[in-house]
Each structure stands twice: as C-alpha cells, then as structure tokens.
Amino acid sequence: MNLNEVDNLFEIYFGCMRSEYYFIKMIEAFVTPGIEGYGRECVCCVLASAFKKGEEEYFGETGVKLCINEPAVSRDVEIIVSYEEFLRRLRIEYSNYLLNYPKKSQDAIKYFKTLEEKLEKA
C-alpha cells in the first residue's frame, strides 16, 4: 500500500471522529484498559496492546490497526502502522480539535497526554 492510500484511509477514519463528541470518545477509549481502540459506523482503530498473543485479533506486540469497511471504501481494508506513525497523524487532529473546541480542551489534553506517554513507552 502506498503513502497516498494510507493517507486516504486515515482521512476517512479521522473524518468520522471530527466532532466535539467523537474525538474525545476516541482518545478516551485508547487509554481505557481493556478497550484501547475506537470505531464507529464502518471505521475502527485499535492498539496492539488491546490483544494478547493467542487471541484471534492479535496482530503483534506494537502498532495500531486501522480497519475501514464498506461503504467507506470499495472493499474492506486493514492496515497496521507503528505507534510513531499513528501519533504523528493523531497530533495533527489533536491540534485541530483544540482550535475548534477550546471549551473541551481540558479533557482532550488529559487523554492525549496519557495516550502519548503510553505509546512512547511501548
């Protein structure tokens, strides 16, 4: 998969999260033990730490799996990116969220910092 295709998939995922409500739900879910991912409609994203070796969904010790399903794409797609790549993309969305929803910035800052620390340690 080339970089443009990966960019497009992340645009679809984050496009579904660009609201005052869904962005906070997403980053809160990533730091909630036992959940560590978030999806809605035909998109989802999950951290590797959500699964243990031997579980059907397990895809490795590190990384983030992004799943985009029909009808958002012509065929279901799953990709795995590094924590660094995911954080790089999430930081852009986070910055935009803070600009667009300053009244909710305390929650966003708290969850984002927790997620950032979690992924940078892994």
Helix (H, G, I), strand (E, B) or coil at 44: strand
pLDDT digits (tens, 9 = 90+) for 10-58: 999 999 999 999 999 999 999 998 889 999 999 999 999 999 999 999 9
d(CA 71, CA 83) in angstroms, rounded, equals: 27
Burial class (CB in 10 A: 0-12, 13-18, 19+), 74: exposed
Give the pLDDT of residue 111. 96
Cβ pair 43, 51 in contact under 8 A:
no
Give the pLDDT of residue 52. 92
Give the pLDDT of residue 104. 86
CA 37 to chain centre: 7
The boundaries of the domain holding residue 82 are: 3-121
pTM: 0.90
Number of domains in the chain: 1
Give the pLDDT of residue 57. 92
